Chain A
Amino acid sequence: MKQLIKNLVETTGPSGFESEIRALVRAEVESYVDEIRVDALGNLITRKGKKSEGGKRIMVAAHIDEIGVMVTHIDENGFMRFTNIGGVNPFNLSGGRVRFVNGTAGVIGVESPRERGSVPGMEKFYIDVGARGKADCPVKVGDAAAFDRPFEDLGERLVSKAMDDRIGAAIMIQALKELKSSPNELYFVFTTQEEVGLRGATTSAYGIDPEIGIAVDITGVGDTPNSEKMDVGLGKGPALKVKDRSLVVDPRIVDWMVRTAERENLPYQYEILTYGGTDAGAMNLTRAGVPSTCISIPTRYAHSPSEMVDYQDVLNCVKLLLGAVSHPVTLD
């Protein structure tokens, strides 16, 4: 599965510019699904199976967009100013690399700070692609880029940019490949524009009208020095979402996830995220309501170019997802 993850994370696809990553995902899943289409916002929607006795229509969603930047101005010396696509912390910018959708590589520079030790606002940063001026600049105003760091296999741990949420996509792809049978009608949706407001999930869920929603996305951790006070840690198993800023998960759904994990003999942890949301929050509000949750992959350094996950957690997430969708869903 590591090669699949590497291919996914190393593809450039900031929110709104997902066609390349979508093509890659499509090639991976095409032969495993019964139906496949792309909707108005670019979501890749696949269906596997039909509902049988006791089955439900389940939407599983991972987003294929990543955070990034968009060029707002190119000055006469070829330096480019930019704005953020999704949640970008200026803290993570200086000296970083970007890769434009058109393939151009660039470096992020920053003006000398007035105060030593303070983090400048985004307007003090710029991108340098080695151009001398506007004329020879291979990038235009309005072009988008993602942050660029290669995938690194540390053995038990994997590091890359865009684990959020290509790791979720990888988990879904792997689950699709291993799926043997299910009484449920499964929609595996690779959503767009999550980072800018759960937009792809909003429209794709409306179109599908599922009964249950399962997002597969990253979550933060509390196991690094002086971190947020959070019980979630790497290597302790998939995190079962209880709450984040977009959603409080229906307790029957939390129970269902816990029972599934226990039945499959998987480790798990409870997740409360005090910031952030996922596609589950959008699915929850759809039409007449869709009880939803998220299978979360604990991730260190989220929204930095070096997000770290535990490989065993990832494999267990695949097993948990399969365990959840392959059987009838019983909510007490």
Chain B
Amino acid sequence: MKTKAEIEASLPQLKDEHVQLLKRLSNASGVTWDEGEIRSMVLEQVKPLADDVKVDVMGSVIALKRGTGTDRLKVLVAAHMDEIGFVVTVDDGDGLYQFAIVGGVDVRQLPGKPVLIGKNRVPGVIGARAIHLTTAAQRKEAIPLETLRLDVGEGKVEVGDRVVFATEFWQTERSLFGKAMDDRVGVVTLIEMLKNNPDNIDLYAAFTVQEEIGLRGAQVAAYNIEPDIAIAIDATPAFDFPSEGEKENVTYRTRLGDGPAIYVMDGATLSDPRLVSHFVHAGNEYSIPFQLRQAGPGGTDAGAMHRQRAGIPSISISVPNRNAHTAIGVVYKEDWEHLLQLLHAGLSSINPGILAQER
């Protein structure tokens, strides 16, 4: 196991190669059930890095990087490959298609958006009635999903095609903008962890499927792998808007710029307190900024993992993501870098003794 100085020296930095990989993954299409394009890119990245790579029956990629030395903890780290989006349900003729939402997307995020449909990424739009043709009273109501259509003009799509927002990733000095930050940031993070794996553990990197509709890939992966510890890395909403006058914003969930978010409790999991202390300690020890995610609704792959077999101590650590589950999410580069560092520091300093005391 590394010394404190060694760990400090080996803390990862966020590099342009990470951002470029994120850009490719963010721009690619991988709506729940249709993760193939993401999976191919992940396989391409991890095959040269891992000791063993498998795709399981659900379609999750499991890459193993063994550590060295005795008494290694078996650590499962999960990041999900699927994103929220839509699916074409009915051909209405004239290039118009009805569609359903896949995963949790607020219907108010839909009108007036460009989309890409199917394997061939056929361009289309979700239109909206012109303002000239609406009344003030109508504009007070959200446009119902049943009235929205995908318009592909003369393009050719099929019922059953999955659909993504047609967002093109971009970056500024401080921020990253793109769709599917949830959880392509996690995916790149996990790839980086394989590249620079802490050698005191056996790292099972699970790139899971079907998280957005119920943590399904993680359930199967954790059952099969039977790790000692499981960690979900995800992107979590930040509602860090300014307070209105006297009314302080107390439900921000996480804040951009405050570092990676360690979960104590969300809608699906009560993180193992031993793991929470460990990562909090690592953050303090190595001066890595971090925040505690406000307890509240939402869930990560940890929700499924901790309930497998006779129970698996689990935790989630995520990057804050403004405007989550919409066409364009916002992530701070510094938060992402600190996530990479916190995970590395925490896992490099972990040992089986952590589970010796009772939960």
Binding site for B on A (CB under 8 A): 15-17, 19, 22, 38-43, 70, 72-73, 75, 81, 83, 85, 123, 141-142, 144, 193, 196, 199, 202-204, 206-207
Contact = CB atoms under 8 A, between A and B. Distances in A.
Determine which residue in A38, A40, A199 has the highest number of CB atoms from chain B within 10 A of its CB, and name it.
A40
Contacts, number: 76
Given A40-B311, A203-B310, A206-B309, A75 B270 contact: no
B294 A72 contact: yes
Nearest to B272: A40
Given A70-B295, A141-B294, A193-B270, A203 B307 contact: yes
5 contacts: A41-B306, A41-B311, A83-B294, A142-B264, A142-B292
B296 to A, nearest CB: 5
**Interface-centre pick from B265, B270, B295, B296 (highest chain A CB count, 10 A):** B270
A41 B359 contact: yes
Contacts of B312: 40
Given A70-B265, A75-B250, A141-B292, A39 B270 contact: no
Nearest to A71: B295
Contact of B306 (A81, A144, A199): A199
Given A19-B358, A83-B296, A142-B264, A204 B273 contact: no
B16 interface: no
Nearest to A202: B307
Contacts of A43: 311
Interface in B304-327: 306-313
A311 B294 CA distance: 41
Given A38-B358, A199-B307, A206-B310, A15 B270 contact: yes
Nearest to A203: B311
A199 B302 CA distance: 13
B248 interface: yes
Contact of B295 (A42, A72, A193, A202): A72
Given A16-B265, A70-B295, A142-B264, A203 B359 contact: no
B251 A39 contact: no
Interface string B275-314: 0100000000000000010111000000000111111110
A73 B294 contact: yes
A220 to B, nearest CB: 25
A240 to B, nearest CB: 28
Contacts of B313: 40
Contacts of A39: 310-311
A202 B272 CA distance: 16
Contacts of B272: 40
Interface of B: 248, 250-252, 264-265, 270, 272-273, 276, 292, 294-296, 306-313, 355, 358-359
Contacts of A196: 270
Given A70-B264, A199-B270, A206-B311, 17 more contacts: A22-B358, A40-B310, A40-B355, A40-B359, A41-B306, A70-B295, A83-B294, A83-B295, A123-B250, A123-B251, A142-B295, A144-B265, A202-B307, A203-B307, A203-B311, A204-B310, A206-B310
A210 to B, nearest CB: 13
Nearest to B251: A123
Given A41-B359, A142-B295, A72 B250 contact: yes
Given A16-B273, A38-B359, A142-B264, A72 B251 contact: yes
A39 B272 CA distance: 12
Contacts of A206: 309-311
Nearest to A75: B248
A228 to B, nearest CB: 27
A85 B312 CA distance: 21
Nearest to A111: B247
A207 B310 CA distance: 5
A273 to B, nearest CB: 23
A70 B270 CA distance: 11
A81 B250 contact: yes
A42 B250 contact: no
Contacts of A83: 265, 294-296
A20 B25 CA distance: 46
B358 A203 contact: no
A5 to B, nearest CB: 25
Contacts of A72: 250-251, 294-296
A67 to B, nearest CB: 13
A16 B306 CA distance: 13
A173 to B, nearest CB: 19
Nearest to A205: B310
A206 B223 CA distance: 12
B275 to A, nearest CB: 11
Nearest to B358: A38
Contacts of A16: 265, 270, 273
Nearest to A84: B295
A112 to B, nearest CB: 13
Contacts of B264: 70, 142
B62 to A, nearest CB: 21
Contacts of B358: 19, 22, 38, 42
B141 to A, nearest CB: 23
A43 B264 CA distance: 19
A144 B270 CA distance: 11
